[in-house]
């Protein structure tokens, strides 16, 4: 499967196949009735979407959207075979349930962040998470992309990034963000 800007899975989809990510990245997200997007989590190599697993095991429609973010290779097999393996192999069963717990914790943390953390701290954390500490390479991302990741308006992210630039912590370019004072962003991100 290759890069797509459109969802490869939409809400309500009924699965005939189970899918594991072998290589690449898949973003799992929701869209509000007003059109705001919220990234729930990303799937990387060796992972599976727990919302998909819940849909398969519960025989219900998919409750999210999924899109590939880079060239992605998937392992796809029939739902009946997946269910048989879940009943037969304890290790697969444990793997899936561990993923459920991991994703429940990550989504709970996301809800806590949205509810309780100031947006400037969330922006600082995102910039730090998306960049390499040992590299001076810029982060290639638009304000819109960052706002979708954070589940907020582009204008809010733009205002915060401009304030970070005014403070000398970052330098903004067209579709690029250079981290100049990583330590200042780290300090903001660690404020309790």
Residue corresponding to tokens 């059109």:
35
All residues at 6 or more sequence positions from 134 whose CB lies less than 8 Å from its CB, including other chains: none
Q: Which pLDDT tens digit goes with each residue over 40-49?
A: 999 999 999 9
Q: Which pLDDT tens digit goes with each residue over 134-154?
A: 778 899 999 998 988 888 889
Q: Taking residues 82-88, what's their average pLDDT?
A: 94
Note if the pTM is more than 0.85. Answer: no
Q: Which pLDDT tens digit goes with each residue over 23-34?
A: 999 999 998 888
Is residue 2's pLDDT more than 60? no
Is residue 192's pLDDT more than 60? no
Provide the token pair at 82.
């997946």
Instruction: Give the C-alpha separation, 176 to 163, whole Å.
Output: 16
Is residue 20's pLDDT more than 60? yes
């Amino acid at each position: 499967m290759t890069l797509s800007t459109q969802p490869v899975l939409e809400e309500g989809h009924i699965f005939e196949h189970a899918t594991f990510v072998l290589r690449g990245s898949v973003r799992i997200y929701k869209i509000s009735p007003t059109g705001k997007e919220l990234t729930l989590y990303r799937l990387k190599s060796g992972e599976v979407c727990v919302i998909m697993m819940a849909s398969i095991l519960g025989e219900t429609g998919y409750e999210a959207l999924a899109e590939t973010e880079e060239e992605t290779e998937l392992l796809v097999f029939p739902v009946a075979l997946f269910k048989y393996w879940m009943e037969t192999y304890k290790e697969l069963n444990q793997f899936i349930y561990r993923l459920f717990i991991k994703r429940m914790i990550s989504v709970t943390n996301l809800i806590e962040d949205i509810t309780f953390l100031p947006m400037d701290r969330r922006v600082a954390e995102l910039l730090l998470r998306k960049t390499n500490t040992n590299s001076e390479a810029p982060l290639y991302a638009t304000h819109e992309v960052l706002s979708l990741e954070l589940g907020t308006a582009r204008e809010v992210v733009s205002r915060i990034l401009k304030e970070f630039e005014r403070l000398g912590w970052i330098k903004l370019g067209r579709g690029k963000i250079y981290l100049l004072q990583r330590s200042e962003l780290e300090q903001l991100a660690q404020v309790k």
